[in-house]
Amino acid sequence: MKYKFPKIVNKPWGREVWLELNKNYCYKRIYINRGFRTSFQFHRKKMETNYIIKGRAEIWLENDRGVVLKKNMKSDDFFTVKPPRKHRVAAITNLVLQEVSTPEVDDVVRINDDTNRPDGKIKSEHKNK
């Protein structure tokens, strides 16, 4: 699917600004509002690395033994999520992340979501205003 960049994707917790999506990778800037969090989720194929540009967060990330660990992170910290590791980002302050990932952007299996969103792409979030 072709998109015009930057592409704004509105989320219940903030927004994503997609800067590039091609057959090799996806590049996003992610804004999460203080006190909000992403879905507790995993990906079957998608691998991602997130770099915290601004703010503080509690990162939930499943380790090699299947245990989900929670770690506080701040600006200049980064983390990598390999499939199918469960993960979540909770914003302690307003948060800005850069995410680089493989291109499987619709590969989202939500275990828990604060607004009960289903798995995969949420079409209503992709409508630019």
Tokens of 115: 């607004």
Q: Is the pLDDT assigned to residue 128 strictly greater than 70?
A: no
**% the chain with pLDDT above 70:** 98
Tell me the pTM: 0.94
The confidence score (pLDDT) of residue 3 equals 79
Among 128, 100, 124, 110, which Cα is nearest to 29's? Answer: 100
All domains in the chain, ordered by first residue: 7-119 (2.60.120.10)
The confidence score (pLDDT) of residue 57 equals 99
Alpha-carbon span 12 to 27, nearest angstrom: 20
The confidence score (pLDDT) of residue 1 equals 59
Average pLDDT over residues 69-93: 99
Average pLDDT over residues 52-63: 99
The average confidence (pLDDT) of the chain is 96
| Percent helix, percent strand, percent coil in the chain, to nearest 5 | 5, 50, 45
The confidence score (pLDDT) of residue 120 equals 93
The neighbour count for residue 87, using CB atoms within 10 Å, is 21
